[in-house]
Structure 1
Amino acid sequence: MSLLFVASVLLLCTASCCALTCPNITGVPQVPLPYLDSVKFHYKIQISVDDLNQTLDATEYYDHVNNQTFLYLDQATMRSKMSYDYNFNQVFTVDELANTCSVADYNGTQGSVSLIGMHAEKGPQFVKYPFVWNSGYNATSMGVAVIDGIQTDHYQMCLSHEDGNLTYQLDIYFSSQNWSMPAGQNAPVRIDLNATVDSTTTGSHLYTYKFYDYHDSTSKELWKPDLPGDIVCEGRKDVPVAPDPPSQMQLRMEVVMGSYLQQVYQYFDYDNKMLRVDITGDNINTPHMNTIHNFKDGLQYMYYPATGLCDIKPIPPDSMFEDTVVVNSSLVSMIVPNHFGALANATYCGVTMFLGYKGHCWKANTVALAHDFYFNGTAAWVQDTYYNSVDEFNGMITPLGMKQVYTSQQNNGTVNYNVTYNYEFDMFDYHPRILDSDVFHATECFNESQKTEIILKFPNDVYPMIKASPANFSKAVVSATLEHSKVLPTRVVPKTPYTVIQEPDQKSKTNVTYVYVGVTLLGVPNVKGDSVEMVPQPSLAQAISDVKSAVQGGEFILRFNTNAEIAADSEYFNTQDDLIRGQQPSPPPAPSGGKVGVSTGVVVGVSVAMLIVGIMVGCFIMIYRSKRASSQYAYTMQD
């Protein structure tokens, strides 16, 4: 009877609380458990769960200086990544297989999370009572043990948790002081964890943690995880304020779809409300195409170099370049394209790598297009993800690239079906201003009868400017012409090279060097645009008259970045037609012995005879072509 009573007592004790109590260690010497680096450390773990016949891979990262903790668990059915942001007190949970991200507020302290504990196989968020390093634990020293060929110091300890239904019995192995490891001594090698639970708790009991690739703040290893990037995590608080983009910029893009590569050059000028996009293709599936959107005349100029054809029409409301906003059914206005930084309609998706650079990610909402631009489908949808880097010192934004998912709805005669295309736009050669002066002219879309070349004369003072920077000189010529002609940039074409001639000066009786500069003005398109930014346009004759008045009044002045100002010769103004008809004197011939050469794109010492011959030949071609040109647009350059 007494034996039965004792057995009953033992059974009750085992089923209730006695087995959940750590053994009595009174009188057993205790030593502090070794500490890991208090600055930062990370390692990889192989977790074996005995009850499930399963092994998992995991990574843990702790950065006590920058307030970051990162846990990653990889198994067959789940890849769970948890990132703790202590700056905003949030925890991010990413399921990489499902490509989902959730965000929750977190009130815990740094270092209070770990994969070492009960239910680690379910993910970091399910480990209710984790074992955490550097918590001031005392343990029993069990001497030296060889684990996986490594000499280790063996420690044993027991943790009984507050609610009384879970106890951890741990055997912990650190590399010995006299055993060299990549990150020094006392690196974690293995933990054997035996979890004892009461009858109301279910779960795996036996866990083995094998540590490898341990590094701390003294290591040369620079690996550092980031908060989730390239994925939308609704509710995250670490969203940067995207700075406003510059009002002018140009860049080059490579468009990649599978093995197909296409070059795109883009020029954006919000000040003058203009956009130019040059697309190079194989002239079969995607022909080479140059497109200009001029919102101040409301027109789209689309030129095909391979055929010489040009089409002028109002800017389409559903522009494929995403530079328009529709005010009403036909009236459009210019907006800043999203990949330049106007991200009001996009959702922040973190910091990620793009083209080898770390950048901010923004995902736009899916947009239904009015037309299927590329695949002639019955409908189309597009979703863009943008990647920008932001200079932390000056706040300047640099576009890195864009990924686009283009969905085309096709019909096989019976049912509709969707085809998805994935594009990547890699962006290079970005400049926050327009470097070229001639990118916005549309001379290819005008026949010769609508073009007039003006010839201006400048003193030799401009020659150093030309030699130093032909591009800046050309830009100064275009700027002055735009200022005084009051036409739009689509109607001004700079001409190079420039003619430098030595002429006898009647007053000084010496040879004086002058520079003759040509610039072409274009007529007014006979197609009516429709945009908010439209402004009245002077006729070609009026524009020429205004430039002539400015020259004769000494007001046609070239201005340079060096604050230098050089005015055109007020006594000289010619057009091609004037020279051919002989209404004004042409530049005199250079004196004998004049030097002839080429320097920095400038023709030096060209005689007036050659100048006249060149102009006459050009005019003959112009007259011949003007007789054959019959349309403002859609004409062939074969003429």
Structure 2
Amino acid sequence: MDLPRGLVIASFLVSVSLFVGGEPDPNVCIPAPPTGEGPPLPKLPTQYRLRIEANIKNKDYSLEMQEYLDEPGNRGAADTLSRGFESHTSYDYKTGQSITTVGDRCFVANMSTTPFNLYGFELVDGSPHIGGINDIFTFGGKYNETYIGQEYVRGILTNHWQNCMYIESRNQTYLLDYFFSIPSHKTAGGGAEIPVRAVMNGTGQTYVPGPGGEPIPLPTRHSFNHIYDFFEVIPGPVTEERAFEPPLGFVCEDRISEQPFPELFDMDVFNVGVELAVPAPANRIYSIWEYYNYKANIVAFQYQPWGVGEPTDPLKEVHDYNLGLSFQIDIAKSSCKVGPIPVYTGEAGSDDGEHVYLRSISSFLQLGKVNWVYEGQSIRRKIPVESWIAQINDYDAGPGMTSNMTLEYFFANESWSSAAKFHHAVNHIPVALDVSYTIKGNIPIPIKSSVSQHFFALNYDAFNPYMTDVSVCYDSKDSKELAIDMEQKYIFDVYVQNSTNSFYFGVVNSLAKAANVTASRISSPLAIEGSSGLMTIYFKLLGIPPVQGDVVNMTQQITLDESHQKLDKSINEGLMITFRSEGQIVDLPVARKSLRADFVAPVTSGGFSVGALVGMGIGMFVLGVLIAVGVVFGMSRMSKGPFSYKTQE
């Protein structure tokens, strides 16, 4: 039956492509031009939100709908409650797709081939377009409405129009009655002459489903009677969040992505903070700070464990992928545990279940392996965001276990700014990540849960090198305290004071490269400027940890004495401390032949301890993709750790 498209959902219609000959049913009505006089027809809004109660009287059931129309924006949507089931259907005429979600299922249809679309379908200059408002309502001058008069509907005085419709292809004849509030009636939504009720009475061809589900006409007819009551009719732009988009969290097969996943910023060095919310049965909120240095192949994170049986002191972990070692440091006790990097830690990848490597950013996001689909806009923490969703199946979640995960990444709208955008022109700032997952395999029953993570203080600048300092894990026999002088004078206030993190970060990486050691073997840098203006940098050079790591393609490390000699040679040949200051690369020369191990640090107020800067940068960005799996099995990072070796405790 050809019902007013703005009033019903697709399940109401028996849309038949088969042509059925016939004539209008004279027992119902005969289409004819309008008769008599009446007020002008109401002008229908091209944008609105309204609620409908549909009573399908001849089938003895009813349903409710919330409709959203934006004809200028070429889109429409509807929420439906029918027989206890809720569904949402969005009609995106830019992609030509309608997307319906029911429960946890999603259905995608091509509107150009679908027999019925709630808001119609037409081609305008070859492009899909929503139907005109008069066609959507089947109301307007071309439908030959006859004015019947005024009558009360639900206590509202209305103007009543009626027309006779005959749909030849479906052999349907029906009277369509519309009731609009009179112009003087003050409506709740502020609109004038809004629809109050529509009634359909008629007869139509009877069909039964064929072997393949196709409709087969019978030589009989049936009567139908539908009543549609309109409530909360609010004309004008629709302001409800995501009214025209499918609900978040649905991976819809064959859905067209309107925008590609954001292009990633060059994230060689970054840090970011994360608040991790783990729902029932855990009902916990964790905070973790994470630091990534891809140039040095090292990551670090700091957190405060809590819970029954958990350590009470803040912990810092450093994973050095040059050594394949994890250093877990109790900050308050200055104690350390050292062992191989756990295979199933968040940022680690492993091809054989034994040896690890630091995963790339694209690997975290499974770029090129999964299909990231644009979900549209929403709000997180009062920030307008855009999100993308992807499904990862059969992901290795541990020995004998796999996980199916749905990932949703939320990025701040490009109109919003941040330090990362101001300093580095990063247009898409990560705001949140939602992970839903099911773990199965070597466990009694599958585990199904979700985790929400919010990102804070994303910083692409160099971070405090204290975060990768592992000197507490070495004793005096495995380290040397050294000092060097800078060639230029009176540079402390210019560079160290104004670019503290970046300067010390440059010191560690420049000295490590010169000594041919991993950056974790340069620790505790401290710059002091004496009264003569000469700046001296004190630091520790560490030896080789007496623990075997588990990294793939382990970097061969030279001994403490060999690295000392190598560093001395590099300084005498002309070594530069390279770092970034105020957006510019700075190279400061080290005084030749200034490396020494016998010295007494002068006492001066110009000194600046890098250790005092703990906590300036915070974070975990890409690690959040997989940390949900770790949460289920006890949050190993928040526990005493899986470390089996110790060099000092």
The letter for the 2-side match of 1:171 is D
CA contact (8 A) 1:114 1:132 kept: no
- Structure 1 residue 170, shift from structure 2 partner: 2.0
Query: Which of residues 483, 499, 507 is equivalent to 2:528?
Result: 499
- Structure 1 residue 429, shift from structure 2 partner: 2.3
- Structure 1 residue 514, shift from structure 2 partner: 2.9
Query: Which of residues 165, 168, 173 is equivalent to 2:171?
Result: 165
Partner of 2:30: 22
| Structure 2 Cα separation of the partners of residues 268 and 525 of structure 1 | 21
- Structure 1 residue 55, shift from structure 2 partner: 3.7
Partner of 1:107: 112
- Structure 1 residue 65, shift from structure 2 partner: 2.5
- Structure 1 residue 273, shift from structure 2 partner: 2.8
| Structure 2 Cα separation of the partners of residues 112 and 135 of structure 1 | 23
The letter for the 1-side match of 2:232 is D
Partner of 2:153: 147
Partner of 1:634: 646
Partner of 1:73: 80
Structure 2 residue matching 1:36: 3-state secondary structure = coil
Partner of 2:317: 291
| Structure 1 Cα separation of the partners of residues 445 and 232 of structure 2 | 49
CA contact (8 A) 1:481 1:492 kept: yes
Query: Which of residues 190, 193, 206 is equivalent to 2:200?
Result: 193
| Structure 2 Cα separation of the partners of residues 566 and 197 of structure 1 | 89
CA contact (8 A) 1:47 1:209 kept: yes
In 2 relative to 1, CA 250–242 (structure 1 residues): closer, same or farther, beyond 3 Å? same
Partner of 1:445: 473
Matches for 1:221-300 after TM superposition, within 5 Å: 224-238=243-257, 240-245=259-264, 246-248=266-268, 249-258=270-279, 259-282=283-306, 284-287=308-311, 289-300=315-326
In 2 relative to 1, CA 145–556 (structure 1 residues): closer, same or farther, beyond 3 Å? same
Report the more deviating stretch, 225-234 or 382-391: 382-391
- Whether 2:537 is the aligned partner of 1:517: answer yes
Partner of 1:484: 514
In 2 relative to 1, CA 135–540 (structure 1 residues): closer, same or farther, beyond 3 Å? farther
CA contact (8 A) 1:341 1:397 kept: no
Structure 1 residue matching 2:494: 3-state secondary structure = helix
Equivalences, count:
547
TM-score by length of 1: 0.74
Query: Which of residues 499, 522, 546 is equivalent to 1:469?
Result: 499
- Structure 1 residue 139, shift from structure 2 partner: 0.9
| Structure 2 Cα separation of the partners of residues 602 and 257 of structure 1 | 32
In 2 relative to 1, CA 225–352 (structure 1 residues): closer, same or farther, beyond 3 Å? same
In 2 relative to 1, CA 202–75 (structure 1 residues): closer, same or farther, beyond 3 Å? farther
Matches for 1:533-612 after TM superposition, within 5 Å: 533-562=553-582, 563=584, 564-570=586-592, 572-575=594-597, 578-579=598-599, 586=600, 596=605
- Whether 2:42 is the aligned partner of 1:42: answer no
- Structure 1 residue 211, shift from structure 2 partner: 1.8
- Structure 1 residue 176, shift from structure 2 partner: 2.4
Structure 1 residue matching 2:505: 3-state secondary structure = helix
| Structure 1 Cα separation of the partners of residues 568 and 321 of structure 2 | 27
Query: Which of residues 338, 346, 351 is equivalent to 1:321?
Result: 346
Query: Which of residues 441, 445, 456 is equivalent to 1:428?
Result: 456
What is the CA deviation profile of residues 411-455 of structure 1, one whole-angstrom value per residue up to 9, with x for unaligned ones?
Answer: 7xxxx4444444333332223454333323333433332222222
| Structure 2 Cα separation of the partners of residues 83 and 282 of structure 1 | 44
- Structure 1 residue 231, shift from structure 2 partner: 0.5
Consecutive unaligned residues in structure 1, runs of 5 or more: 1-13, 116-128, 373-377, 503-511, 580-585, 591-595, 604-630
CA contact (8 A) 2:350 2:356 kept: yes
In 2 relative to 1, CA 395–515 (structure 1 residues): closer, same or farther, beyond 3 Å? closer
| Structure 1 Cα separation of the partners of residues 42 and 148 of structure 2 | 14
Partner of 2:616: none
- Structure 1 residue 256, shift from structure 2 partner: 1.9
TM-score by length of 2: 0.73
The letter for the 1-side match of 2:345 is M
| Structure 2 Cα separation of the partners of residues 421 and 112 of structure 1 | 36
Structure 2 residue matching 1:185: 3-state secondary structure = coil
Partner of 1:213: 232
CA contact (8 A) 1:309 1:635 kept: no
- Root-mean-square deviation over aligned CA pairs: 4.0
The letter for the 1-side match of 2:391 is A
- When Rg is computed on C-alpha atoms for both structures, the one with the higher figure is 1
Report the more deviating stretch, 193-202 or 44-53: 193-202
In 2 relative to 1, CA 488–553 (structure 1 residues): closer, same or farther, beyond 3 Å? same
CA contact (8 A) 1:447 1:632 kept: no
| Structure 2 Cα separation of the partners of residues 561 and 315 of structure 1 | 34
Structure 1 residue matching 2:83: 3-state secondary structure = coil
| Structure 2 Cα separation of the partners of residues 445 and 488 of structure 1 | 15
Partner of 1:621: none
Partner of 1:85: 92
CA contact (8 A) 2:462 2:505 kept: no
| Structure 2 Cα separation of the partners of residues 26 and 464 of structure 1 | 87
CA contact (8 A) 2:50 2:231 kept: yes
In 2 relative to 1, CA 52–191 (structure 1 residues): closer, same or farther, beyond 3 Å? same
In 2 relative to 1, CA 354–550 (structure 1 residues): closer, same or farther, beyond 3 Å? same
